[in-house]
Amino acid sequence: MKQSLRALIVEDSRFDAEFIMRALRETGYELTDSQVVDDPVEFAAALSRRSWDVVISDYVMPTFNGTHALEIFQRAKLDVPFICVSGGIGEEKAAEVVRAGANNYVSKSHLARLGSVVGSEIAAANERRARRQVAELTVHLAAIVEGTDDAIFSRDMAGTILSWNSAAERMYGHAAREAIGKPISIIVPPDRINELAEIQEKLQQGERIAGMETTRMHKDGRRVEVSMTISPIKDDQERVVGASVIARDITERKRMEQERLTLISELREAISKVKQLSGLLPICASCKRIRDEKGSWQQVEVYVHAHSQADFTHSICPDCTKELYPDIYLKMQKP
């Protein structure tokens, strides 16, 4: 199956341009898009108008040459192969063109090798782009890792710290230069050391540990409550060679949770001490005594005091005053 190719050809001879395109077709390429130009303006316009897989330029032309074409190409900042093709320059001049920035040179008397040169240069350009993308992604990820408030670090399977971000420095108190190369146990309290063996076992099985809440230790000995996610790092053979750790400080959250639990406990205790009157109370229609749970009849104030936090202060209402102390009642009515 032929490989598609978009080729921009800088050539003043249409005859030579046809030979170049034929050489490409004979070496397995299908020219899905091609253009032949022979002056600087047309060349610059073609570079900006569409995408190309390769630029193939003659070196010697009446009003235009390969060096000038290369300068225009370099100003366009395109990462595609620029291959110089000519029949009238020697090896020294060809080497000079390559030193100036051309990716390769092919003599017109050896166009049979043009296809293989184009293939190798396209592959090299693809590799350069891939490396550049990886480098850009690495820089991007590094910026994210350094900018986060979560401690992010890595370790090998022996437990040695390999990387340590700024948030880890703040959370645990160890500078990167102090932590890298040290065992992970420097941030583990003595009473939590047994967790390391459990984590190691899960990592060896390729297991990811998410949301593990535990306690770690600051350089000054202070305990730090953390929520950790530990992910295995594998090589190209799918073997676990280490782990990445993301830890979030949840000390404040834990403190607030404890305060909430304490408050709930205190409220429950207070409620348990409050006695309430509820339901139907059996009360005598005549003397107004209330029958308690044991069947005994008690005065209202005795019953209420025993079943609530209420207490009584005694007085006499106007009606009772009138009935029991009529003389006092009459005096109270006088203005």
Q: Are residues 242 and 316 in the same domain?
A: no
Q: Can you give the chain as a three-state secondary structure string? A: CCEEEEEEEECCCHHHHHHHHHHHHHCCEEEEEEEEECCHHHHHHHHHHCCCCEEEEECECCCCEHHHHHHHHHHCCCCCCEEEEECCCCHHHHHHHHHHCCCEEEEHHHHHHHHHHHHHHHHHHHHHHHHHHHHHHHHHHHHHHHHCCCEEEEEECCCEEEEECHHHHHHHCCCHHHHCCCEHHHHCCHHHCHHHHHHHHHHHCCCCEEEEEEEEECCCCCEEEEEEEEEEEECCCCCEEEEEEEEEECHHHHHHHHHHHHHHHHHHHHHHHCCCCCCCCCECCCCCCEECCCCCEECHHHHHHHHCCCCCCCCCCHHHHHHHCHHHHHHHHCC
Q: Are residues 131 and 154 in the same domain?
A: no
Position 276 confidence tier, pLDDT thresholds 50, 70, 90? low
Q: Are residues 208 and 101 in the same domain?
A: no
270 part of a folded domain: no
- Domain closes at, from 225, 253, 281: 253
Res 142: pLDDT = 75
Strand partners, 154: 163, 244
Contact 70, 47 (CB under 8 A): no
CATH of the domain at 74: 3.40.50.2300
Res 90: pLDDT = 65
Q: Is the pLDDT of residue 190 over 90?
A: yes
- Give the pLDDT confidence of 242-255 residue by residue, as tens digits: 999 999 999 888 88
- Give the pLDDT confidence of 50-61 residue by residue, as tens digits: 899 999 998 877
Q: Is the pLDDT of residue 332 over 60?
A: yes
- Candidate from 105-109, 160-164, 181-185, 305-309 with smallest mean pLDDT: 305-309
Q: Is the pLDDT of residue 277 over 70?
A: no
Q: Are residues 36 and 66 in the same domain?
A: yes
Q: Are residues 17 and 130 in the same domain?
A: yes
Q: Are residues 119 and 215 in the same domain?
A: no
- Domain closes at, from 111, 135, 159: 135
Q: Are residues 68 and 11 in the same domain?
A: yes
Res 76: pLDDT = 92
Res 185: pLDDT = 95
Res 184: pLDDT = 95
CATH of the domain at 243: 3.30.450.20
Res 273: pLDDT = 61
189 part of a folded domain: yes
Q: Is the pLDDT of residue 225 over 90?
A: yes
Res 80: pLDDT = 93
Position 297 confidence tier, pLDDT thresholds 50, 70, 90? confident
Res 279: pLDDT = 65
Q: Is the pLDDT of residue 298 over 80?
A: yes
Q: Are residues 198 and 122 in the same domain?
A: no
213 part of a folded domain: yes
Structure tokens of 3? 């490989």
Q: Which residue has the higher pLDDT, 24 or 90?
A: 24
Across the range 8-33, mean pLDDT stands at: 91
Q: Are residues 102 and 208 in the same domain?
A: no
Count the domains in the chain.
Answer: 3
Res 331: pLDDT = 73
- Domain closes at, from 253, 278, 313: 253
Res 328: pLDDT = 76
Res 64: pLDDT = 80
Q: Are residues 129 and 243 in the same domain?
A: no
Which among 109-118, 198-207, 283-292 has the top mean pLDDT? Answer: 198-207
Contact 298, 284 (CB under 8 A): no
Position 302 confidence tier, pLDDT thresholds 50, 70, 90? confident
262 part of a folded domain: no
Q: Are residues 201 and 325 in the same domain?
A: no
| Exposed/middle/buried for residue 69 (C-beta within 10 Å: 0-12, 13-18, 19+) | buried
- Give the pLDDT confidence of 137-151 residue by residue, as tens digits: 878 777 777 778 899
What domain range includes position 124?
Answer: 3-135
- Give the pLDDT confidence of 149-183 residue by residue, as tens digits: 899 999 999 999 999 999 999 999 999 999 999 99
77 part of a folded domain: yes
Contact 223, 198 (CB under 8 A): no
The type of residue at 246 is I
140 part of a folded domain: no
Nearest to 36 by CA among 59, 63, 56, 8: 8
Contact 229, 207 (CB under 8 A): no
**Could you give the percent of the chain with pLDDT greater than 70?**
94
Contact 70, 101 (CB under 8 A): yes
- Candidate from 18-32, 94-108, 208-222 with smallest mean pLDDT: 94-108
275 part of a folded domain: no
Q: Which residue has the higher pLDDT, 187 or 258?
A: 187
Q: Which residue has the higher pLDDT, 275 or 316?
A: 316
Residue that is written with structure tokens 């005053």 in the block: 321
Residue that is written with structure tokens 């003659």 in the block: 58
Res 116: pLDDT = 92
Q: Is the pLDDT of residue 274 over 60?
A: no
Q: Are residues 83 and 194 in the same domain?
A: no
279 part of a folded domain: no
Across the range 250-264, mean pLDDT stands at: 89
